[in-house]
Structure 1
Amino acid sequence: MDLLDDGGDQPGGNAHEFTVSEISGAVKRSIEDQFGRVRVRGEVGRVSRPSSGHLYFDLKDDRSVLAAVTWKGQAARLQTRPEEGIEVIATGRLTTFPGQSKYQMIVDQIEPAGAGALMVMLEKRRKALAAEGLFDEARKRPLPYLPRVIGVVTSPSGAVIRDILHRLRDRFPTRVLIWPVAVQGNDCAPQVANAIRGFNALAPDGPIPRPDLLIVARGGGSLEDLWGFNEEIVVRAAADSAIPLISAVGHETDTTLIDFASDRRAPTPTAAAEMAVPVRADLAARLAEIGLRLMRGEQNRITRQRQRLSDLGRALGRPQALTDPARQRFDLFAMRLEPGLRGFVRRSRDRLNSLPLSLSALRGNTGKKRIALSGAAQRLDSAQRSRARQDRDRLKTLSQRLERERTRALADSTRRIRDQRDGVHKLAERLQVAGSRLVAPRRERLERLDRLRQTLGYAETLKRGFAVVRGAGDEVITTVEAARTQPRLVIEFQNNGRLPVRPDTGPDTGAGPAGSPPVPPADAKPVRPRARKGAGPKSDDTPGSDGQQTLF
């Protein structure tokens, strides 16, 4: 084949001419074939997160820089997000980008390069979140003293939830809502954050009650196992929670970022349950003591008020005693008025007789004085009756007011005592119901044990065809030698049926009384006959042929 073209003598005229796309594709295939799957260790440089959802960043060391990209779908599943300045190990494949004539790494997995890098990233994230004020003490709220509903965010299959439920049941039984989540791995952080926000989104009066307190719990583990609780999404969810939150992640020495954002940190999940509720027995005793003190105080207060009212009543006096002096003075003045009037009239008549006046003038003057005197007497009588009526009305009003005040005070005191007595009765009823609930399972267990005792007793064994041999002193006989020493034996069957018999007193050769079957030696073992093919019935001289089994 002639590779020369019509170019003639031009240098390089026989070289193949590639298009730009062809050469870019060849380079792409070569790099992808050579570096199909690689792990690269380096420091994260520039990080870019555009609105498309892809991640663009650089991996660098002291001499080179490698461009890296993680597509949107894979970026959402990354356990560790690339942050500038941390050292990571990236796993992926190398490829080229023909649009800019450069090669890059498609990363689908990122992991920190050792615990040191994790601690550096954790400290950097803690400082950034603390600068936003998410860890301020002013944001933390007090825990409710006695929550009605407690929400627990943890794994439903671990030992943590059992420890929390057991501790709550011992201290103060409370309704618990469990939101199952993954407590490690890639799904841990989003599930825990969604659980916290989900509990806060519940309506207070909805079909599912809104918790009064949240507990985020997990057992101990390594730094990598607990890393989900260091994610920013979990910390922000805990800081934004309107419900008070207790963080119980890991053991005493484990620290995660959710501990700083929570309202209270518990060293263990069991300690979180102890922080959540008080001890019911102590609370009941305290309430009983307060109820007694309150009842005694109210009784003392009512007694003092009754005594004070009685003292005031004695000091007030009778209304009649207040009017008697006035009535007496009125009578005294009335008795003195008539003689005084007669004397006044007499003096006036004498003075008139001494005056040189005409009879008509005297009569006119006397008539005027009589009219004036009659009017004054009427006014005086009316004023006295009005004054007496006003005094009587004022005394009556004062007595009614005092009676109303006393009645109102007694009614208020009686109502408070009745309310307190009702509260104490309700508390006693609740305690009685709780006691019944505690006694019922124990009573049932006792009955089961009693039935087991009856089943395992020897009476049930007697019902299956066995018998008990007792001696003269009602002791149980278990050997032939002990039976022969007894003057009399009693065989006990089922339903307390007893049959007295006499033991064999003959020599040890086995010969008993006449007509009785021979007794086997003491060391002989009972032999159970086996049915054989073609074997006929036993002869009469065979032991036990009469159908009676030996007792020993």
Structure 2
Amino acid sequence: MVDPFFPDETGRLLAEVPPGDNAAPLSVSELSQSLKRVVEDRFGHVRLRGEISGWKRAASGHAYLALKDDRAVIDAVIWKGSASGLAFSPQDGVEVIASGRLTTYPGRSKYQIIIDRMELAGEGALMALLEKLKAKLAGEGLFDRDRKRPLPFLPRVIGVVTSPTGAVIRDILHRLEDRCPTHVLVWPVQVQGEGAAAQVAAAVRGFDAIQPGGPVPRPDLVIVARGGGSIEDLWAFNEEVVVRAVAACSIPTISAVGHETDTTLCDHAADVRAPTPTAAAEIAVPVRAELRQQLREMGLRTERCARRYHQLGRERLTALARLLPTPDRLLQPQRQRVDDLGDRLRRGLGRRLADARGELARASGALRPAMLDQRLDRARERLNATWRLVQSLNPEKPLERGYVFVTRRAGGAVVKDSTDARAAGALVLHFADGPVDAKVERPGSGAYGLQADRQPKLL
């Protein structure tokens, strides 16, 4: 190819600026920046309709995706601030309308759209997104019937997640007051618009986090409620964060979102769906007047059953009493036996008395006065011999012949030898006419002696 500036020198080694040329060569960065300015000036605001492809959210919070149709694809970026304000959770395959500005990315030599706002492309796209999310959550088992729990029959505390200023909370409170007054805790939330889904999910998790016995009573039942509206108005209750919070709540839940014909994913995740918020209050508690009537009826039935049971028992007792023998018939054999034993006892006593009399007569015949005197004399002799033996063994008897026995003054133990006496020191000498205290002394010659009260010294 011939260089237009150097038609005759196509094979030059060094680049030269031809005479009169004032267009210096551009750097790659300069060209990229020029293209960037042209694209951003020309396409400072655009709206694109396309299908989301390759949606992903980075750890920084920015989102990256592509918008495509059947013939072209364009890359897109949603910065963190805009991504957090999206009214729905984007998914691949959903058709959207994105508003933003075109720019280039010099690092990759490509152009892309910076999305400031993204909306679903009509109600059809919204329903397609809803069906995708519904299928995804259903596949995880969040809507299974075996996960549904029964509601408490008479909850003491009911938690309500709804707007504090709308007609919904007034309708619920009024209906509860009419049926059965109950303690109600209201967690105020925004029920539509940006941030509504996050507030509703946080309220459900907040009720579930209340500990029993704390300063705030833990609800026995949670009602998630909102009035009617379009599918766009109710969209917060189709958000994945709300559905997962309701499904994970350990407290039984009632979903009362919209009117009877409205259905949200929150309804599928809750344990019970109510067609309206007022119906939710009716489902939550029984009618107090009906309970009282049931209690009265049950009390009457219990009383009738008790009376009937008593009557049947009396009838059975009367029937059994007819089959029982009379007291005379029951006691007749025993009476006859008593009479027989009485006769046998009298006869036995008579025989025993006669035998005793015979034994007494035989014994009295052997008792003559001479024999009694002899037996008495022998007994007296044995008694005197025993007494003499006792007197000879009496330790105080030798005292009458001038002997004494010695005991320790402390404790009264008998002193048996001189060693024991020297060890005791203080002694008691027992004479026939009484005791005398004494102590052991050591005389000048080395002999030991006793000092007594009644004599100067005993050697």
For the aligned pair, the TM-score class normalised by the smaller chain equals: 0.5 to 0.7
Unpaired runs of 5+ residues, structure 2, are 1-13, 356-361, 363-459
Alignment-derived partner of residue 255 in structure 2: 247
Change (3 A) 1:134 1:320: same
Change (3 A) 1:227 1:9: closer
Structure that is richer in strand per residue: 2
Alignment-derived partner of residue 331 in structure 1: 342
Where do 1:228-239 residues align within 5 Å?
Answer: 228-239=236-247
Give the residue type in structure 2 aligned to 1:206: G
Where do 1:40-51 residues align within 5 Å?
Answer: 40-51=48-59
Q: Secondary structure at the match of 1:252?
A: coil
Is the CA contact (8 Å cut-off) linking 2:157 and 2:183 kept in structure 1?
A: yes
CA distance in 1, matches of 2:179, 2:17: 102
What CA deviation, in whole Å up to 9, does each residue of 1:367-390 have, x standing for no partner? xxxxxxxxxxxxxxxxxxxxxxxx
2:167 to 159, 162, 165: 159
Change (3 A) 1:321 1:109: farther
Segments ≥4 residues shifted beyond 6 Å:
6-9, 302-323
Q: Offset at 1:115?
A: 0.5
Alignment-derived partner of residue 64 in structure 1: 72
Unpaired runs of 5+ residues, structure 1, are 1-5, 346-362, 364-552
Q: Offset at 1:53?
A: 2.3
What CA deviation, in whole Å up to 9, does each residue of 1:260-301 have, x standing for no partner? 111111111111111111111111111122223334444665
Is the CA contact (8 Å cut-off) linking 2:226 and 2:258 kept in structure 1?
A: yes
1:194 to 202, 208, 211: 202
Structure that is richer in helix per residue: 1
Alignment-derived partner of residue 471 in structure 1: none
CA distance in 2, matches of 1:326, 1:17: 147
Give the residue type in structure 2 aligned to 1:200: D
Change (3 A) 1:67 1:324: same
Is the CA contact (8 Å cut-off) linking 2:176 and 2:282 kept in structure 1?
A: yes
What CA deviation, in whole Å up to 9, does each residue of 1:79-105 have, x standing for no partner? 123211111001111112121111111
Is the CA contact (8 Å cut-off) linking 1:150 and 1:175 kept in structure 2?
A: yes
Give the residue type in structure 2 aligned to 1:330: L
Give the residue type in structure 2 aligned to 1:113: A
Change (3 A) 1:166 1:333: same
Alignment-derived partner of residue 82 in structure 2: 74
Residue 100, structure 1, aligned to residue 108, structure 2? yes
2:96 to 77, 85, 88: 88
Q: Offset at 1:327?
A: 3.2
Alignment-derived partner of residue 188 in structure 2: 180
Change (3 A) 1:202 1:93: same
CA distance in 2, matches of 1:120, 1:106: 25
Q: Offset at 1:178?
A: 0.8
Where do 1:278-293 residues align within 5 Å?
Answer: 278-293=286-301
> Identity of paired residues, percent?
59
Alignment-derived partner of residue 147 in structure 1: 155
Q: Secondary structure at the match of 1:179?
A: strand
Higher alpha-carbon Rg: 2
Q: Offset at 1:308?
A: 8.1
Q: Secondary structure at the match of 1:106?
A: strand
CA distance in 1, matches of 2:231, 2:254: 20
Where do 1:21-40 residues align within 5 Å?
Answer: 21-40=29-48
CA distance in 2, matches of 1:298, 1:338: 61
Q: Secondary structure at the match of 1:99?
A: helix
Alignment-derived partner of residue 131 in structure 2: 123
Give the residue type in structure 1 aligned to 2:160: V
Is the CA contact (8 Å cut-off) linking 2:227 and 2:277 kept in structure 1?
A: yes
CA distance in 2, matches of 1:73, 1:63: 31
Q: Offset at 1:68?
A: 0.4
CA distance in 1, matches of 2:344, 2:202: 99
What CA deviation, in whole Å up to 9, does each residue of 1:138-159 have, x standing for no partner? 0001111111111111111111
CA RMSD of aligned residues (A): 3.3
Change (3 A) 1:165 1:74: same
CA distance in 2, matches of 1:245, 1:32: 51
Where do 1:191-230 residues align within 5 Å?
Answer: 191-230=199-238
CA distance in 2, matches of 1:293, 1:322: 49
- TM-score under structure 1 length normalisation: 0.56
Change (3 A) 1:153 1:316: farther
Alignment-derived partner of residue 403 in structure 1: none
CA distance in 1, matches of 2:78, 2:333: 105
CA distance in 2, matches of 1:206, 1:177: 14
Q: Offset at 1:205?
A: 1.0
CA distance in 2, matches of 1:190, 1:75: 14
* Of 293-302 and 237-246, the range deviating more from structure 2: 293-302
Alignment-derived partner of residue 267 in structure 1: 275
CA distance in 1, matches of 2:325, 2:158: 62
Is the CA contact (8 Å cut-off) linking 2:88 and 2:239 kept in structure 1?
A: no
Q: Secondary structure at the match of 1:243?
A: coil
CA distance in 2, matches of 1:7, 1:114: 58
Give the residue type in structure 2 aligned to 1:27: L
What CA deviation, in whole Å up to 9, does each residue of 1:407-450 have, x standing for no partner? xxxxxxxxxxxxxxxxxxxxxxxxxxxxxxxxxxxxxxxxxxxx
Q: Offset at 1:28?
A: 1.6
CA distance in 2, matches of 1:223, 1:34: 37
Give the residue type in structure 1 aligned to 2:112: Q
Q: Offset at 1:336?
A: 4.8
CA distance in 1, matches of 2:60, 2:15: 51
CA distance in 1, matches of 2:128, 2:275: 24
CA distance in 2, matches of 1:281, 1:211: 23
What CA deviation, in whole Å up to 9, does each residue of 1:307-357 have, x standing for no partner? 989999997998998965543232132245478x69xx9xxxxxxxxxxxx
Give the residue type in structure 1 aligned to 2:275: P
CA distance in 2, matches of 1:285, 1:9: 107
- TM-score under structure 2 length normalisation: 0.67
Change (3 A) 1:12 1:301: farther
Give the residue type in structure 1 aligned to 2:220: D
What CA deviation, in whole Å up to 9, does each residue of 1:235-273 have, x standing for no partner? 111111111111111111111111111111111111111
Where do 1:1-12 residues align within 5 Å?
Answer: 10=18
Change (3 A) 1:30 1:321: farther
